[in-house]
Each structure stands twice: as structure tokens, then as C-alpha cells.
Chain A
Amino acid sequence: GAGVSQSPRYKVAKRGQDVALRCDPISGHVSLFWYQQALGQGPEFLTYFQNEAQLDKSGLPSDRFFAERPEGSVSTLKIQRTQQEDSAVYLCASSAKDEKLFFGSGTQLSVL
């Protein structure tokens, strides 16, 4: 497709369950970012990939969060042993080298 695609659109998880969120960036985009957006807040940086290399993961809130982009295209954000405070919208964004970010519609995660 022409834009950044994220799936699933909505995810409900029981506390303690593992989840995996997928991002398909715009074809050819080198840079890929993951953000977390709580209700009524701006997006907060989680991690950054340049091709398959994870160059910055300083925003990941705990070691329960893990992201990968093994072939430099699709990326997966995995959250292990989900907690209620993980409930948020997870946004993926991609860009051609050093240009503006294009965002996906996000995955809304609800942890019960």
C-alpha cells in the first residue's frame, strides 16, 4: 500500500499475556520509529531502526519491551507479560533518509 500499515488495529490482552504488534513501513523507507501515545498525550519515542539496525532503544520503558526489524522492512514490537500501564496506542512511523515521518494509524492496546 501507499502508507504505513499497522496490525492489529485493536488488541485486548489479559494482564500477563504476551503481545506482538506489526508495522509495514512505506516501501524503501530506511528509518522506522515506534512511539507510544497515551490518551490525551503526545507520542513518546520508544525505539528507532535504520534499515535492520536498531540504533536507539532508549525509550523502551522496561525489558519487557522488545522490537526487531530483521530484514530492514517489516518491524514487530513485542511486549511480554503485559501490565495495565502498557495500555496505549502504539504508533509506527517511517521516513526516507532524514525526511518527515509518515505515521500509521496505530494499534490500540488495552490490557485488562
Chain B
Amino acid sequence: GQNIDQPTEMTATEGAIVQINCTYQTSGFNGLFWYQQHAGEAPTFLSYNVLDGLEEKGRFSSFLSRSKGYSYLLLKELQMKDSASYLCAVRVPMGGGSQGNLIFGKGTKLSVKP
């Protein structure tokens, strides 16, 4: 089966740093994605890791350890607009010549307070 775990909710203060963890157990692995989703809106792409290590993109960084089935999303210099749900997703292989389908966790609702 496929299992992706992440905390349900987190709260942090404006200007601070927050780390959202994700652990996964999947039948196959073709990369790990993080998406941001504001209430009532489409998920938007944040980051992609396929090799172990840290990927940095502005205020957002994402880390992957394939041997541990573990990833985290790090958000720095938090802003009020960062209040949203953060979705961890693993791409698992499919047939038909595609690299795969995304299996999502339930999402972590982040609240940024002044």
C-alpha cells in the first residue's frame, strides 16, 4: 500500500522559521513534491526532490532522504501569506510509459500569526 504521513496542523510566528516533516512508505519512488494550497484554490508547485539532499529556492527549501523515507519543507522569514496547507506528494511508477502518478499526504495546515 501507499502511506504518506505529515502533521495535521502547525502554528508559527511571522518572521520565524518552520519545518514541516513528511514520511512515506510507497511501492516505488520517482520523486517527492511539495505543493502549497490556499483554501479554495488550486495546489501550486513549490519544490521537487529526486536525489538525497537539500534543494533551496528563495525562502523555501526541501530535503530528502530516500533511505529513511523522509522529507521536510523548510520555510524561512515567514509571512502572513504563507498561511496555507502544505501537501507532500510522492510520485509512484505507473504503466504506459509515464514516470508516475502523485500520491498525496493529507496536508499540513500552517497558520502564521503576527
Name B's A-contacting residues (CB within 8 A): 4, 33, 35, 40-45, 48, 87, 89, 94-99, 101-107
Contact = CB atoms under 8 A, between A and B. Distances in A.
Contact of B101 (A4, A33, A91, A103): A33
Contacts of A100: 33, 45, 48
21 contacts: A40-B106, A42-B87, A42-B105, A42-B106, A42-B107, A43-B87, A43-B104, A44-B104, A45-B101, A48-B96, A48-B101, A55-B94, A55-B95, A55-B96, A56-B95, A98-B98, A100-B48, A103-B42, A103-B43, A103-B44, A105-B40
Contacts of A42: 4, 87, 89, 104-107
Contacts of B99: 98
A44 B5 CA distance: 14
Interface residues of A, number: 24
Interface of A: 4, 31, 33, 35, 40-45, 48, 50, 53, 55-56, 91, 98, 100-106
